[in-house]
Amino acid sequence: MVADPPKGNPKGLAAAESTANGVSAVVLIEAPGASGGGCCSSRDQVRRCLRANLLVLLTVVAVVAGVALGLGLAGAGGAVALGPARLAAFAFPGELLLRLLRMIILPLVVCSLIGGAASLDPSALGRLGAWALLFFLVTTLLASALGVGLALALQPGAALANIDSSDGATGTLKESPRKEVLDSFLDLVRNIFPSNLVSAAFRSYATVYEIRQFNGTGTEVKVPVGNEVEGMNILGLVVFAIVFGVALRKLGPEGELLIRFFNSFNDATMVLVSWIMWYAPVGILFLVASKIVEMENVEVLFSSLGKYILCCLLGHAIHGLLVLPLIYFLFTRKNPFRFLWGIMTPLATAFGTSSSSATLPLMMTCVEERNGVSKQISRFILPIGATVNMDGAALFQCVAAVFIAQLNQQPLDFVKIITILVTATASSVGAAGIPAGGVLTLAIILEAVSLPIHHISLILAVDWLVDRSCTILNVEGDAFGAGLLQHYVDRTDSRSSVPELIQVKNETPLAPLPIPAEEGNPLLKCYPAPGEDADICQKESVM
């Protein structure tokens, strides 16, 4: 197609320029003084920008509108005025979004990890996994230290030492026996190795306690008993998918058919995710609004626990807007806030759903399409990060532990502070990527430093807000980890002549050697070298 010069610009010239493939293209050369189309050009640029960021803008507007709608309905009577039936109908669009996202989690995690692990060399897999775990560990430790430091500096629980912890409490945690720290970590290891993969899709292992009499003497003993509880065992599925992907790669050509099956399954799942993304603004609006309407005495909660909420939100803001972007900038020398703008839709979805697992499908799409992260990196690292990287949860748990210690007027020495840091970092690994998942592991930290767990009821009263901030920080850390690993892979490929990914293995070795059948690469074909014997081959990429 040949473009005519603009009629309004008689000095516009058309020049034929030869492109790389030999096809001449018509290039318009505008005279220096020609500026008649400037207004139209800027208007077109604005229109293109709005079209490219339409989903992000709709999601942000949905969050703001949800907060405004929720506060308006709460001021008009809230849940009491609506009634249970109308409240359920009002929250239905948000519930539908959660169901759609949870439906996609299982195939997305399993297929993406199998395909990602199978597409990487074992040596590259080990290096990427080690760097990812190191990044997640360091950022979680930094978040924990920041939470403890802010709580010690702001003293959120000092002014509330005499408040009865039953205010706003649900009372469900007082009757349950205390869970031992050792049993919590043993449950973590048990969930890594599920006994049934089918049940791991909707159940996980948890230790409960029964009070039994010992040897008929009347002495009551707390006996740990294994139990399956509702909730996806995503940690066990992640470990199995990685190991299964490595096993498929070891099969060589025999495993390529199954690898292509999982890659195609994952691509189809991502198409479904792209459709769900356009419904996300509607669901987020009603999720946020319904949660605000359901809360009672919002003003009382904010006035009594405002300092605790401020401490958590301030810590999340510092870690998410300063610490993580600074780490990304120091290693990549790229603008971290441009990276953040590319994942604005998953961040807004994280605020609405309060679930890092539910945000995973949208995060994969955005980091691949907007931030230039390869599929092999994003589909291997992001599911792992959604399971083991909980920066927001670790920071919130440290603030909550110090807050409860101040409520009980118990001083924290250096040993207890270190215990809080280490326990928060360790307990955040494998924490459920579901709403209020961090509260479930907070009891482990309180047990480690001998603090009463019944004060968790105060934390639950405002967890609907703090948990959303935690989820935003969790998924942001996952995305920055994927960006850093992409930079590491790019830099390694530029320095080394041996590429790490299967898709770029197309260099001819200096001395061609026969390749055993079990180590053959299905993406390479052999052709006889010109002027040589037929059994001497040259390698040529088919990609």
User: 156-211: per-residue pLDDT in tens?
Assistant: 877 665 544 444 444 444 445 566 767 777 887 888 888 888 888 888 888 887 77
The two structure tokens encoding residue 306: 């405002």
Give the residue-averaged pLDDT of 447-475: 80
Kindly report whether the global pTM for this prediction surpasses the value 0.85. Answer: no
Rounded to whole angstroms, how far apart are CA atoms 75 and 154?
A: 31
Whole-angstrom distance between the N-terminal and C-terminal Cα of the chain?
29
pLDDT of residue 484 exceeding 90, the answer is yes
Category of 176 on φ-ψ map: left (φ > 0), alpha (ψ -120 to 50) or beta: beta
pLDDT band at 340 (very low <50, low <70, confident <90, very high): very high
SS3 499: coil
Specify the higher pLDDT residue, 487 or 7: 487
Tokens 């469900």, located at residue: 172
With a CB cutoff of 8 Å and minimum separation 6, the contacts of 238 are 109, 113, 383, 384, 387
The two structure tokens encoding residue 272: 């479904």
For residue 504, the model assigns a pLDDT of: 39
Q: What percent of the chain has pLDDT over 70?
A: 74
Is the separation of the CB atoms in 359 and 97 below 8 Å? no
Expressed in percent and rounded to 5, the helix, strand and coil fractions of the chain are 65, 10, 25
Give the residue-averaged pLDDT of 15-34: 43
Rounded to whole angstroms, how far apart are CA atoms 99 and 94?
A: 9
Is the separation of the CB atoms in 169 and 456 below 8 Å? no
Closest CA relative to residue 473, chosen from 291, 322, 369: 322
Most confident of 43-47, 200-204, 435-439: 200-204
DSSP codes of every residue in 14-74: EEEEE-TTS-EEEEEE--TT--TTHHHHHHHHHHHHHHHTHHHHHHHHHHHHHHHHHHHHH
Is the separation of the CB atoms in 148 and 502 below 8 Å? no
pLDDT band at 431 (very low <50, low <70, confident <90, very high): low
The two structure tokens encoding residue 247: 């096993």
pLDDT of residue 542 exceeding 50, the answer is no
With a CB cutoff of 8 Å and minimum separation 6, the contacts of 66 are 284, 285, 286, 287, 288, 289, 292, 352
For residue 203, the model assigns a pLDDT of: 84
User: 310-324: per-residue pLDDT in tens?
Assistant: 899 999 999 999 999
Mean per-residue pLDDT of the chain:
76
Lowest mean pLDDT among 149-153, 214-218, 219-223, 466-470: 214-218
Closest CA relative to residue 147, chosen from 386, 322, 325, 316: 316
Lowest mean pLDDT among 303-312, 398-407, 488-497: 488-497
Is the separation of the CB atoms in 373 and 486 below 8 Å? yes
Closest CA relative to residue 282, chosen from 69, 51, 436: 69
Most confident of 106-120, 242-256, 485-499: 242-256
- Residue 173 DSSP code: S
Give 368-376 contacts, CB < 8 A, sequence gap 24+. Answer: 370/342, 370/343, 371/339, 371/342, 371/343, 371/479, 371/483, 372/486, 373/482, 373/483, 373/486, 374/486, 374/489, 374/501, 375/116, 376/116, 376/119, 376/120, 376/501, 376/503
